A = this chain, B = another copy of it.
């Protein structure tokens, strides 16, 4: 595995226009997603991110929506090289989005990538969805490895979604991260509205939850099974600094995401507990 510190520092000093002129300094960019290696959002992401560096794609061989930060420990993992051309190599992987990043960083790539970019997800990953999202799982895993990482999602589930505006947003935000880097251990959760983009807002994660409504069916053999469905319940409709508010109002939401889940403000609550 490459010397992470050197690479990490080098990211901080990259000036975007410079490495465009000098091909030897083109960054190595790992791309993954959770909709699978054949998803349109991935192809659109490759198209825009290729402008900025050499790309290695390691993405699941099938859809892995809702896989969160899951890793594969009970089964072995397989990878297949699907495509190789100048500046672009594509692998499919039988594992989860997080497996893809782990395998890329420790086995496939000769050095740690300079960036991990995940998406473009078909559908938003605002609010509590950041916890369930495989797209964000991959980006968060990149940040755990100390690599500046971004997860992109478009608020449109349709396969015919228009990615034109989304790709411009991806380019603008990628350039900022390339220029300034990101604080250690922090990645970005970026959600892009479906229609016209009015601007790009830094936001916090909305408090809310998914309300499940499992649909019960009976199979041809008379046995019951359940399909998970549900709708999102926004617990703070009035707040204006949240990611769901931004997205609903035509703005791109950018939420910095931490991997430290400690609820520091809860320590006071537990002070009275005597063991």
Q: Which of A200-258 contact B (CB under 8 A)?
A: 200, 202, 204-205, 207, 209, 211-214, 216-217, 223-228, 254-258
Interface assignment of A260: CB less than 8 Å from any CB of chain B = yes
8 additional A-B residue pairs with CB within 8 Å, beyond A176-B273, A186-B269, A256-B269: A65-B74, A66-B72, A77-B214, A106-B212, A131-B144, A183-B269, A205-B261, A259-B261
Query: A17-25, A82-90, A97-105, A152-160: which lies at the B interface?
Result: A97-105
Interface assignment of A68: CB less than 8 Å from any CB of chain B = yes
Chain A residues within 8 Å of B, Cβ to Cβ: 1, 62-63, 65-74, 76-79, 96, 98-99, 102-103, 105-107, 128, 130-132, 137, 140, 144-145, 172, 176, 180, 182-183, 185-186, 189, 199-200, 202, 204-205, 207, 209, 211-214, 216-217, 223-228, 254-267, 269-270, 272-273, 275
Give the Cβ gap from A11 to chain B, nearest Cβ, in Å. Answer: 14
Q: Number of copies of this chain in the oligomer?
A: 2
Decide: B204 and A264 in contact? CB cutoff 8 A: yes
What is the interface of chain A mostly: helix, strand, loop, or mixed?
mixed
